[in-house]
Amino acid sequence: MSERTPLLHYRLSASVSEPELRSPSAGRSPEQQPRRPSSRRQRSGLLHLQQQQQQTQKLSTFFGVVIPTLLSMFSVVVFLRIGFVVGQSGLYQAIAMFLVAYFIICMTVLSVCAISTNGALDAGGAYYMISRALGPEFGGSIGIMFFLANVCGSALYVLGLVEAVVGTFGLPEDGIAITSPYQVLPSGYWWSLLYATAIALLCLLVCLVGAHIYAKATFVIFLVVMFVLGTIFISFFAVGPRTINLPSSATVNPGINSTGPTVPTLANFTGFKLDTLLGNLRADYTVDYTTGTMMTFATVFAVMFNGCTGIMAGSNMSGDLKNPSYSIPRGTITAVIFTFIIYNLLSLLVACSCDRVLLQRDYSFLRDINVWRPFVTIGVYSSTLSAAMSNLIGASRILYALARDDLFGKVLFPAKKTSQSGNPWVSVLISWFLVQLVLFSGKLNTIASIVTIFFLLVYAAVDLACLALEWASAPNFRPTFRYFTWHTCVLGIVGCVVMMFLINAIYASASIAFMLLLLLLIHYLSPTSSWGYISQALIFHQVRKYLLMLDVRKDHVKFLRPQILLMVSNPRSSVGLITFINDIKKSGLYVLGHVQLGDLNTLPSDPLQSQYDSWLSLVDHLNIKAFVNLTLADSVRHGVQHLLFISGLGGMRPNTLVLGFYDDCLPQDTLVDPTLSTSQMSDSSGLCPELEHQPPLFHFPSARASSDRQDHGELGDGKVLGPQEFVAIIADAMKMLKNVVLARYFNTFDRAKVLSPSASSSFKGAVYVDVWPVNLLRPDSCSYVDTCSLFLLQLACILNMVRAWRKATLRIFLCVEDGRSVKGSEEKLDQLLKELRIKAQIYPVSWDQQVALHWQRQGKWGKKQQLQSTETNSEEKRAKTDEEDEIEDYVNSFPSNTTRLSDEYLSAVNKLILDQAGPPPAVRFLYLPRPPADTRRYSVYLHQLDLLTKDLGPTLLIHGVTPVITTDL
pLDDT exceeds 50 at position 962: yes
Question: Can you list the positions of beta strands (E) in 599-639?
Answer: 627-633
Look up residue 814 and give its amino acid.
L
Give me the pLDDT at residue 166, please: 84
Separation between Cα atoms, residue 565 and residue 588, nearest integer Å = 11
pLDDT-based confidence at residue 854 (cuts at 50, 70, 90): low
pTM for the model stands at: 0.64
Q: How confident is the model at residue 581 (pLDDT cuts 50, 70, 90)?
A: very high
For position 491, what pLDDT does the model report? Answer: 92
pLDDT of residue 357: 87
Spatial distance between the Cα atoms of 85 and 81, rounded to a whole number of angstroms: 6
Q: pLDDT tens digit string along 900-954?
A: 678 888 898 899 999 887 788 999 999 999 999 999 999 999 999 999 999 899 9
What's the mean pLDDT in 477-500?
A: 88
Q: For residue 104, name the pLDDT band (cuts at 50, 70, 90).
A: confident
Res 706: pLDDT: 37
613-625: string of b/e by CB count within 10 Å (b at 16+)? ebbbebbeebebe
Q: What percent of the chain has pLDDT over 90?
A: 20
Q: E strand or H helix at 70, and its extent?
A: helix 67-76
In the predicted model, what is the mean pLDDT of residues 599-607?
A: 89
pLDDT for the residue 536? 76
Confidence of residue 435 (pLDDT cuts 50, 70, 90): very high
Residue pair 313/458 in contact (Cβ under 8 Å)? The answer is no
- Residue-level pLDDT at 240: 85
Residue-wise pLDDT tens digits, 767-808: 899 999 888 888 766 667 788 888 989 899 999 988 889 889
The residues with which 593 forms a beta bridge, in sequence order, are 567, 629
Q: Are 309 and 72 in contact (CB under 8 A)?
A: yes
Distance in angstroms (rounded) separating the CA atoms of residues 361 and 290 = 9
Query: What is residue 256's predicted lDDT score, i.e. its pLDDT?
Result: 44
pLDDT tens digits, 629-664? 999 999 999 999 999 998 888 888 899 999 999 888
* Residues whose CB is less than 8 angstroms from the CB of residue 426 and which lie 6 or more positions away in sequence, other chains included: 414, 415, 416, 417
- CATH (residue range 61-247+265-525): 1.20.1740.10
Q: What is the mean pLDDT of residues 401-420?
A: 80
Looking at the predicted structure, is the pLDDT value of residue 573 above 60?
yes
- Helix 189-209 to helix 425-438 angle, to the nearest 10 degrees? 170
Does 395 have pLDDT greater than 50?
Answer: yes
Q: Which residues pair with 354 in a beta bridge?
A: 269
Distances from the Cα of 422 to the Cαs of 208, 209, 320, in angstroms?
11, 11, 10
Say if residue 842's pLDDT is above 60.
yes
The model's confidence at residue 504, banded by pLDDT at 50, 70 and 90, is: confident
CB neighbour burial string for 444-468, b if at least 16 within 10 angstroms, e if fewer: bbebbbbbbbbbbbbbbbbbbbbbb
Q: Which H or E run includes 495?
A: helix 486-503
Mean pLDDT, the chain, as a whole number? Answer: 78
Please report how the helices 82-116 and 486-503 are oriented relative to each other, as an axis angle in degrees rounded to 10: 150
Burial of 169 (0-12, 13-18, 19+ CB in 10 A): middle
430 vs 362, residue with greater confidence: 430
Q: Which residues of the chain form CATH 3.40.50.620?
A: 560-667+719-743
- The pLDDT tens digits of the residues spanning 728-740 come to 999 999 999 999 9
Q: Which residue has the higher pLDDT, 703 or 602?
A: 602
- Asked whether the beta carbons of 568 and 594 are under 8 A apart, the reply is yes
Work out the pLDDT band at 892, boundaries 50, 70, 90.
Answer: very low
Mean pLDDT of 13-35: 39
CATH of 560-667+719-743, one of 3.40.50.620, 2.60.40.10, 3.30.300.10, 3.40.50.300: 3.40.50.620
With a CB cutoff of 8 Å and minimum separation 6, the contacts of 5 are: 51, 55, 322, 323
pLDDT for 845: 85
User: Considering only CA atoms, which of 148, 150, 145 is closest in space to residue 515?
Assistant: 145
Q: How far apart are CA 296 and CA 889, in angstroms?
A: 95
- For 430-475, give the secondary structure using H, E and C: HHHHHHHHHHHHCCHHHHHHHHHHHHHHHHHHHHHHHHHHHHHCCC
Q: Residue 180: how many CB atoms within 10 A of its CB?
A: 11
Residue range 842-862: mean pLDDT, rounded: 69
Nearest Cα to Cα of residue 832 among 864, 797, 862, 799:
797
- Tell me if 739 sits within 8 A of 659, measured CB to CB: no
Classify the C-alpha dihedral 407-410-413-415 as positive or negative.
Answer: negative
- Whether the predicted pLDDT of 857 surpasses 60: no
Lowest mean pLDDT among 430-444, 745-759, 886-900: 886-900
- Residue 658 DSSP SS3: strand
CB atoms within 10 A of CB 11: 11
CA distances from 778 to 462, 782, 895, 942 (A): 68, 8, 7, 15
* Best CATH choice for the domain 750-858+898-968 from the list 3.40.50, 3.90.550, 3.40.5, 1.10.3470: 3.40.50
Is pLDDT larger for residue 486 or for residue 866?
486
When pLDDT is averaged across residues 949-960 and rounded to a whole number, the result is: 93
- Answer for the pair 442, 189: CB distance below 8 angstroms, yes or no: yes
Spatial distance between the Cα atoms of 532 and 348, rounded to a whole number of angstroms: 49
Q: Is the pLDDT of residue 546 over 60?
A: yes
* 385 and 141 Cβ atoms separated by less than 8 Å: no
Output the pLDDT for position 819.
Answer: 57
Residue 517 predicted with pLDDT over 50: yes
Query: Does the structure show a pLDDT above 50 at 891?
Result: no
Residues 139-158 have a mean pLDDT of 86
- Over residues 671-690, the mean pLDDT reads 45
What is the mean predicted confidence (pLDDT) over 123-139? Answer: 74
d(Cα 806, Cα 800) in Å, to the nearest integer? 5
Rg (CA), the chain: 41
* Sequence-ordered list of residues with C-beta below 8 angstroms from that of 595, at least 6 positions apart, any chain: 567, 630, 631, 632, 633, 636, 639, 640, 643, 715, 716
d(CA 557, CA 15): 60
Burial 218-232 (b: 16+ CB within 10 A, else e): beebbebbeebbebb
pLDDT at 257: 47
Ordered DSSP codes for 812-877: EEEEE-TTS-HHHHHHHHHHHHHHTT---EEEEEE-HHHHHHHHHHHHHHHHHHHHHHTS-HHHHH
Q: Are strands 266-269 and 242-245 parallel, antiparallel or unpaired?
A: antiparallel
Inter-CA distances, 172 with 164, 290, 363, Å? 14, 13, 16
Say whether the peptide bond before residue 374 is cis (omega within 30 degrees of 0).
no
